[in-house]
Every structure is written in C-alpha cells, then in structure tokens.
Homo-oligomer: A and B are copies of this chain.
Amino acid sequence: MGRLSELFDPETVAVVGATDRDGAVGRAILENLRDEFTGTVVPINPSREEVLGIECYPDASSAPPIDLAVVVVPPEIVLESIRDLAEAGTENVVIITAGFSETGSEGADRERQLREIAEENDLNVVGPNSLGLMATPNGMNATFGPESALEGSISFMSQSGAFITAVLDWANEQGIGFQDVVSLGNKTVLDETDFVREWGDDPATDVIIGYLEDIADGREFVDAAREVTDDTPVVLVKSGRTDAGAQAASSHTGAIAGSERAYEAGLDQAGVLRAHSVQELFDSARALSGLPEPETDGVAVVTNAGGPGVLTTDAVGDSTLEMANFTDQTIAALAAAMPDEANVYNPIDAIGDADVERFAEALEIALDDPAVGSAVIVAAPTAVLSYDELAETVIESLEDHDTPVVTCLMGGRRTAGAEKTLRKSGVPNYFDPSRAVTGLDALARFREIRAQPVAEPTTFDVDRRRARDVLGRAKRRDDNRLGIESMDLLEAYGIPTPTGEIVDDPARAREVAESIDGDVVLKIVSPDISHKSDIGGVKVGVPDDEVYDAYEDVVSRARTYQPDATIVGVQVQEMLDLESATETIVGMNRDPQFGPLLLFGLGGIFVEILEDTSIRVAPIGEDEAREMVDEITAAPLLRGARGREPADIERVVETIQRLSQLVTDFPAILELDVNPLVAGPEGVQAIDLRLTVDTEKL
C-alpha cells in the first residue's frame, strides 16, 4: 500500500464515470472538483469528448497520469475500471459506486474481487459505497455532497456519508474547519485504522474525529490508535452502543455487533475519547483543535452571574476536572480588584455590574494562580457588558498565558459577533456552561492519556511447552472442555495452585492426604459435571482417616447424579484458610473484533448479581492489570475494608498479567475461567479452572 497522504494531496484527480447529465453523481463530483481544486481534473468516460467543457478521456491509459481516481461507474464495470486504472499506474482510488456487500451475495462477491485486485496492485482504495473525500488545503472536494468544508485542523472520517453532509452544513455555519474528510463506505481496503495512522503522522491535523459503526480489527486499532494518541487526540462517536442501536447498525452497514463492553474497554485502552452525540463530538474537538494543554486539572470560573456560575461549578464537579483552589495571594489580589459584593473565591462572581475591564482583571489574576490549569468565562447579558469587547479582551489576556480558556457567553443574537472574533483566535464559545466544561474536560482527559506511558505487557518466564502439552489433552480426549484436572496449565504460567493430586482410587487418595499438612478437600473431577458442589461432589475439611470413605461417597454421588458422566478421578487438595481470604474471578472470552477480553471481579454475588466486573483487551501491562482491580466497586474489600486483613493485591495484579500472557500465547484458548482465585494476605491461589479449547488451533 502506498502512502495514504497521496489520497489527500494529488496533482491530478480523475473522475471515472464523469458526465454532464443533470442530477448524476458523476456530474456532482466533477462540479465540486472543478470549482475549487487547485490541481488538474480529468474526466474519464468512453462516450464523451468533453464534460462540462473539460477534455474527457475514454480510459485511464489514454489519460494523463492520474494520482487519484474517483470511480462512479455502474457496479458491474467497477472492477474493470479499477484494473484499467491499476494498469495505467494509478495507486489511489475512491469508489463512490454502491452495490457491493451491502446488497447481497452478488455484491459481496464483487467486493471480494475488489479486495483481491487492490492487494495484487497495491492500491489504496476508499469505499466502495462512499460519499468521497475532501482535503481543504488544495480545495479538493471529491464528494457528491452539497457542501465543501472550510479549512481547519480537524480531520474527520465517517462510516456514514449522511453524517458528513449533515455535519458540514452545520460546521460551515459555525465556522468550524477541517483538514481532511473521508467517507469510509464499506471499508473493503482502507479502514479507520489506516486513517488514524495517516493523520497521526500529519502535522496539519490537530484532532482526529470520526463516526464509526464498527471497528474492523479491534486489536490492530487499539495498537495503532494508542501510538497516535500519544500526540494527537482522537474523538469518536461509536454508535450501536445499545442493543437496539447495535441491531440498527448491523442492518445499516452489516457491522458485526461486537460487545459494547469490548468497545468501551478497547477504545479506552486506545486512548480514544468517546463522544455520545454529534454535539459532544464537536464540543470536544473544538477545544482540542485550538487550545494549549492544561498544566493542572484546576479550573477557574469567572462570571458576572451567580446562577450560571453555580451551574458551571456543578459541571466541573461532574467532570474529571476540579475547581481550582486559589492561593491566598490570588484571593487577596481579587479582593483588591473587585467590589465588596463580589465573590473572590472560585467561581469568581464579578457580579452583575461587571464590565469588560473587571472581567479582564479577574481573568488575569486567576491565570497567574499556579492551581489554575484552565479557565472558563461565563457571562450573562447586561447593559454594561459588551460581548464583542469581552471577546477582544479575552484574546488579549491569552497572549501572555499558555493556559486554555473557553467562553460561555450566554444568550442568542448578541453572541454572534463575539463568537466569530473568539473563533478566529481558536477560543471556542459554548451555549451552555455544561458544554463549555465538556470542552475543557476533553483537554484534561487527553492530557491524562498522554501522561500514561504506552503499556508494555510484562513477559514472565513461563513453561510454554508444558502449557501446550496440557492443552493437548483436549485433542487427545476429543473434548474441547478442560477443567480442574488441567490446573497444571496455570502452574506452567506461574500461577499458584493448592498442593494436591488427582487420584483414581481411594487408597491413593489417602496417601496423598497424608502427605499434606492438615485436613484436605476432595472434589470430583469430570468434564461433564460443572456445578460440583450442588451435587455433593465436594467435601471440605476431611481428616486423613476419613479420606477413604469420603472418596467413595463423592464418586457414588457423582454416579447417581449423572450415570453417564466420564469420571476422571477425585482431586485431593490442601485446605486453604479461606476465613481471611476473598474469592475473586479472573476470566477471558474472545470478542469478534477485539480478541481476548480479560475479566476480573469478586466471586459470587458480586459477579452474578451486581455485575461488578472490569474488562480489558489482552495483552495488558501492569498498570492496566492494577486498574482492573482498582475499578471494581468492591475493591475496598480486597484492600481490607470492614476490619479484614488486606489481600496481597500485587499477586492478584501479577496473576491477571500471567493469564493475559497465557491467552495471548495460545489463541486456541477460546474461553477460560479461574473461579475462584482466592486472594489472601499471603498471596493468591487458583482453586478451580474451566476452559474451552479450539482443538483445530493447537
């Protein structure tokens, strides 16, 4: 695949299927290109000599060299056109034509062939079923939409073409500009990961935004995006969040509904800021595209209106930000500068008769406070305050400070002029205090993402060969479910398990019991019995001299319960001090988009009733494993709440990482549950295990 930047910066753009027929898409694109594109436009159509007064060529080989081709021919001849382009040396193609996988099996077949041609010829292909793409520096509007974008530093991709036309109509009115815009269409070749990579390398792109209905390869996206988000913020609306939405997305683009929890975890690990509405997307993007990075999470609020000041404070309380705690010096300076009735604590209420000078003074003093990382000016209309002058003054104050400031000049008609002035200097103005805080919060969240080192999974020294042998049992036994008899899988990866042995006669059970200090636990081992306790298949606290009988009893109960069950034997295990320990669960299942998803939670009701679990896409590093433990609501129980002895959390964190390594090393493991993993003051022990193996992959 060639460099994607050529997609957005071609010298010559061909419209394959150009026409001057009224209402035709091939005409709309040509018109859009003709009007503003600074390069050369080449119509291609075998049945015309010229289109819209521009010389037309019958095919790519007879045309001048083409850097980018926009293909709008009927679906039946798309493949032919692409081959022709490839032969003529064109590397970049946007396919507008619909009628591919979104329309049934014939279309799907066509799309498969398209992918093959692209691979053979190393083509960058956008679409098919795309609105097209735009780049503003060269005035290239290679779409059939009614609007061209204004120039700016936001690059924008969308899995919905309509989303682009709707956004541009509004953004043009608001004066919001873009660098590159691309309608992803069916994503047959190029997808979100490619554009995130491309724009991450583009110095003219300050913010990457997108509307997505699915992510083609979750793990690849996470890795690519996480590198990009170290420098460039990415804000995405990923729709299909709810069950109803996922169903709607699937019928719209055929997006496979990955689990929302997987998306949530994956996008979070990728350092992507997620927006839930068009408005939130742009409220965040506007702040991220024009403002410096805040140095702290402290916000100063300067207002002439008590009520809106309180609302702003509430919004700060709801966000990841906090109200800056002013120094005594700041408070003294504010008290000296403001009238007696003013409130000099944060939010600064310069009261109703505040003019532009008083606002400017308060803002200057606040910005000098080291606790202030960002500020918001919240104003209500009064007779003594000119919004136009206030805008000028805010911009002047910013010249001496590298602190992000946003405004919320409340009102309608009277804000228009000020908004325009502010926009020119990169200061976003918001209608509502809560939206202004959304903007500042995006800056703070992005700062936090950048501050976190890109996670490097720890590689533990493990016995991979032994693990492979254990997994091989599934193949040998011709049963893809493994259970407690395969605890040596965990041992191979350095996860502690209780001392013990699986035996198949009662005398040996007794021998094993005698070799263990204290009473023992007996458990039936059978791939066909999953709820061992329920059928009396577990006996706890058995003294050595009762082991023989207990063995017989456990086996006979299993046989009574399920006569046809395969009984592997009985596990004789040391008895753990569960009094001071907590039962946890560590599990994994595979998501169609993101691959192995790790799950952590406390056992029993916490998982079953309260659904108090944390999720990450594997492989994970130490920080992520620690977050998994910290973010469950019941975490204080592990840390020693209610007079308990604290569990050895470091060993829990390590165990999660070792399991992450295990499931990453063996894609054959489809599902795995260590339940319970007992965590006590002295460490952890895996007590039971269930996993499902794809024997084909071994």
Contact = CB atoms under 8 A, between A and B. Distances in A.
Interface of A: 23, 28, 103, 146-147, 158-163, 165-167, 169-174, 211, 213, 237, 239-245, 247-249, 251-253, 276-279, 304-311, 313-318, 322-323, 341, 343, 345, 347, 349, 352, 380-383, 410-415, 431-435, 604-605, 608-610, 612, 633-634, 636-637, 641-642
Contacts of A173: 412-413
Nearest to A311: B239
Contact of A413 (B103, B160, B169, B211): B169
Contacts of A211: 307
A277 B433 contact: yes
Given A166-B308, A244-B317, A279-B435, 18 more contacts: A160-B307, A162-B382, A163-B307, A167-B410, A169-B381, A173-B413, A211-B307, A241-B314, A243-B317, A251-B349, A252-B349, A278-B311, A278-B410, A278-B434, A605-B637, A608-B641, A609-B637, A610-B612
B28 A383 contact: yes
A286 to B, nearest CB: 15
A279 B410 CA distance: 11
Contact of A279 (B158, B247, B412, B434): B434
A150 to B, nearest CB: 12
A207 B114 CA distance: 58
Contact of A412 (B169, B412, B633): B169
Nearest to A411: B169
Contact of A318 (B159, B213, B242): B242
A310 B279 contact: no
A247 B147 CA distance: 47
A80 B433 CA distance: 40
A413 B172 contact: yes
Contact of A610 (B307, B316, B633): B633
21 contacts: A160-B306, A160-B308, A160-B310, A162-B305, A167-B410, A169-B415, A170-B410, A173-B413, A211-B307, A237-B311, A240-B310, A242-B317, A244-B313, A244-B323, A248-B309, A251-B343, A252-B309, A252-B310, A252-B349, A277-B434, A609-B636
Contacts of A166: 305, 308, 380-381, 410-411
A252 to B, nearest CB: 4
Contacts of A347: 248
A317 B317 CA distance: 26
Report whether over half of chain A's contact residues are helix, strand or loop; otherwise say mixed: helix
Contacts of A382: 146, 162, 165
Nearest to A611: B633
Nearest 8 pairs of A and B residues by beta carbon:
A160-B307, A242-B317, A173-B412, A162-B305, A169-B411, A166-B410, A162-B380, A245-B314
Nearest to A641: B609
Given A160-B308, A163-B305, A245-B310, A252 B343 contact: yes
A183 to B, nearest CB: 10
Nearest to A277: B434
A147 B310 CA distance: 23
Contact of A642 (B146, B381, B605): B605
A232 to B, nearest CB: 24
B435 A277 contact: yes
Contacts of A276: 314, 318, 434
Contact of A633 (B162, B313, B609): B609
A315 B245 CA distance: 8
Contacts of A637: 605, 609
Contacts of A171: 412
B306 A252 contact: yes
Contacts of A304: 162
